[in-house]
Amino acid sequence: MPGEPQDDCLFCKIVAGTIPATIVRETETTIAFRDINPQAPTHVLVIPKAHHVDAAALAAEAPQLAADVLRETRAVADDEKLESYRTIFNTGSGAGQTVWHAHAHVLGGRGLQWPPG
């Protein structure tokens, strides 16, 4: 069932507290924590607490929750004092998605090229 915790999901385990993470923000519906392999001085992941496999599924299954995640990306940027930052949703393995629980990457604190590689 979309939204239900999955036993084999890394980010559901972070939500449950069974795997540690450096959590920087938490709301009723979301958490934000530092990426274990940062690609920029600020690299934070914002996730819904509920399990949805990717951003497209999240938007389709729980649009209000998708909005909560987006709102939190701005809040992370504010906390980190980032004027400019990039929000990325990798969707599908060909785009680099490796964790099948929707997450927004918030990257900042260095120059970011456009278009990306």
Distance CA 28, CA 32 (A): 12
Partner whose binding site includes residue 97, from ligand 5GP, Zn ion, none (CB under 5 to 8 Å by kind):
ligand 5GP
As measured in angstroms, the least distance from the Cβ of 107 to Zn ion is 22
Enumerate residues 6+ apart whose C-beta is below 8 A from 62.
Answer: 2, 3, 48, 50, 52
- In the bound state with Zn ion, the residue whose beta carbon lies nearer, of 69 and 82, is 69
Alpha carbons within 13 angstroms on the beta-carbon side of residue 11 total: 26
Q: Is 57 in the site for Zn ion (CB under 5 A)?
A: no
Q: Is 51 in the site for Zn ion (CB under 5 A)?
A: yes
In order of 13, 48, 53, 115, the CA distances from 74 in angstroms are 25, 15, 22, 21
Residues 7-46, interacting with Zn ion (CB under 5 A): 9, 11-12
Catalytic residue among 51, 52, 103, 105: 103
As measured in angstroms, the least distance from the Cβ of 37 to ligand 5GP is 4
As measured in angstroms, the least distance from the Cβ of 99 to ligand 5GP is 4
Q: Which residues bind ligand 5GP (CB under 6 A)?
A: 10, 19, 21, 33-37, 90, 96-99
Contact (CB, 8 A) for 28 and 69: no
One-letter amino acid at 54 equals D
Which residues are designated catalytic?
103
